[in-house]
Structure 1
Amino acid sequence: MWPDSLVRELVEKRCIIHLGSGISSQSTNENGDRLPSWHDLLDYLKEKTLTEANDIQLVNEFLEHKKFLDAGEVIRTKGSDAEYNAKIREVFIESGFKPSASHEVIVNIAPKIISTTNFDTLMESSLIDNSGNDSFTQFDHTRDGLLDAIRSPGTILVKMHGCAKHSSQTILSRSDYFKLRKKHRQFFELTSSLYKVNTVLFIGCGIEDPDINLLLENNNIETDSSNPSYALVGSRSYAYKIRESIRSQYNIQVISYEQESDNDHTKFSEKLCELADKVDEVRAKHGTVA
């Protein structure tokens, strides 16, 4: 069940919806392909950017043990920057992926702020398809004006770790993160504050994914608050298995959708639609915040 308190936060636009790689995996291109998992992306980048056998073997060892941030570190520090930039664009921009029904549901829920650590442009495309190019303002660490936009009534899309359109500015490793945090300090301090003072609903986020690791490690979600943030995860996921630890460590309450197997996400969109229906019901009864 979706908590009434979360629904109210969404209706009153006090909840940030954060999108992880799981929502992008709902999308396909005309060939029926899906975007790669973090493991598969890092494995692909390893093959395309690294030339030294020792580096390749090290990445293989990190991938085997699901140490994805460490694998990304080797790729970014030892690999070809030119190949990295080209392959990020190839995977996320040039492969023709289209927004999924889940992206449309997020648009219809209409939060004030949508944030994502995804490199793809699927959320942007869905917002444009729904309401046009002027329906939202997009920010990442390279663009100023986020604070002014927060004070305005419009929808905001925050690309926390950059966009594949500007692949050299994407964040894949800890060194990427701290290098860009030092250069764009105001952006990262502001986004950290947003995560601390707002309820956050994490959708499609694996707790072991490198982007979420970085986000949780470096943004101070308020752990002593009586009002939790929330995460939608599969009932067979690693995050669900350690849900009590997640609640105590990050003050994030896990909400699950049913899975028949580890790779079964057929109920994901259905669970999101249930949330959208509850939001619509409260809006119809009590009105909405502009």
Structure 2
Amino acid sequence: MSKNSTNQDGIRPKDWKEFLVNASERLVGKTEINRQIKSGDFLTACELIKKELGRDDFNTLIKVEFLNPRFTPADIHQHIYNLDSRIFITPNFDKIYDTYANTTSQGSIIIKKFTDEDIVDCIRRPEPLIIKIHGTVDNTDNLIFTRKDYSAARTKYRNFYSIIEALSLTHTFIFIGCGTNDPDIRLLLEDFTFKFPLSKKHHIIMPKNALNIKVKEIVKETMSLNILEYDSSNDHQLLTNSLAALVTLVENKRQDIANTQSW
């Protein structure tokens, strides 16, 4: 989703791979970092970069890449906001969607990080809620971005993961702009699948050919996911258009429910 945004110079945010490749360019350990990137082990690559740069330089790099450019929201952020889902969970630690949603709602949306202790209270209240499961660029010392970060968070913030697990049992998730390799998401859905094999599936939207057909079947079976595919040509324009159409369908359905009082 963030890749749809630009700043006043027309620059788009880097995705995870682009960030890692760019960050490793001048590092002594570039060869090994690139080897990890090519193998798809982004977590280890990020860990190596963070160790070589050190805390201060790594935190500065994060802000330079994801905060200082002042990225502006795109149409896709507007459509997702207009779906009016009360709970929005994002692994993105940039502030593009948060800023748009909070500005558009005149500050009435609650934004919580995985480190906050009152998330359950916010979930049970009626106000819209954004949960940033990997932290925020405002606090770079509490991001989940490297292999060590993921491992430490699962122990230190065990209660938070219990909350997300509970939501997966009581709500249907739809993953937008998110792959299946995030360790937290994979662990959550695999655990859900084998504990409750007869449960309704969650949904994930991804480009056609993003996964090998055999891998796709494994993902469906082991993560209880219904895969919705789209043509990603023209900078994923079809995804943006489809979400715009979905907003209309949702609004019509809500009006129908209100008219028939069938809630």
Q: When the two structures are superposed, what TM-score results if normalisation uses the length of structure 2?
A: 0.89
Verify the 8 A CA contact 1:240 1:256 in the aligned structure 2: no
Match of 1:213 in 2: 183
2-side partners of 1:145 and 1:273: how far apart?
33
Structure 2 CA distance for aligned equivalents of residues 26 and 57 of structure 1: 30
Q: Does 1:270 align with 2:241?
A: yes
Are 1:29 and 2:2 counterparts?
A: no
CA distance in 2, matches of 1:247, 1:132: 39
Letter in 2 for 1:267: L
Number of the residue aligned with 1:282:
253
Percent identity (aligned) = 26
- Secondary structure of the equivalent of 1:237? coil
Contact 2:189/2:223, CA 8 A, preserved across alignment:
no
Match of 2:24 among 46, 50, 54: 46
| Contact 1:231 1:253 (C-alpha < 8 Å) held by counterparts | yes
1:257 is displaced (CA, Å) by: 1.8
Q: Tell me how many residue pairs correspond in the alignment.
A: 258
RMSD: 2.3
Matches of 1:149 and 1:77 in 2, distance apart?
36
Q: Please state if 1:102 is matched with 2:76.
A: yes
Q: Displacement of 1:221 after TM fit?
A: 5.6
Cross-structure match for 1:122 = 96
Secondary structure of the corresponding residue to residue 192 of structure 2: coil
Question: Amino acid of the residue matched to residue 103 of structure 1?
Answer: H
Gaps of 5+ in 2: none
1:96-148 per-residue CA deviation (whole Å, 9 max, x = no partner) reads 10111111111111111100100110111111232111x11111122111111
Mapped contact 1:164–1:170 kept (Cα < 8 A): yes
Partner of 1:147: 120
Q: Is the 8 A contact 1:195 1:221 kept in 2?
A: no
CA distance change for structure 1 residues 225 and 75 in 2, over 3 Å: closer, same or farther? farther
SS in 1 for 2:236: coil
Between the aligned partners of 2:79 and 2:110, the Cα distance in structure 1 is 19
Supply the AA of the counterpart residue of 1:216: R
Structure 1: gaps spanning 5 or more residues: 1-22
Which residue in 2 is equivalent to 1:58? 32
| Structure-2 separation of matches of 1:213 and 1:240 | 21
Q: CA deviation at 1:242?
A: 3.5
Q: Say if 1:174 and 1:139 are closer, same or farther in 2 by CA, change over 3 A.
A: same
With CA pairs under 8 Å and 6+ residues apart, which has the higher RCO, 1 or 2?
1
Match of 2:65 in 1: 91
Determine the C-alpha separation between the residues in 2 that align with 1:284 and 1:139.
30
Partner of residue 225 from structure 1, selected from 193, 198, 201:
198
1:247 aligned to 2:225?
no
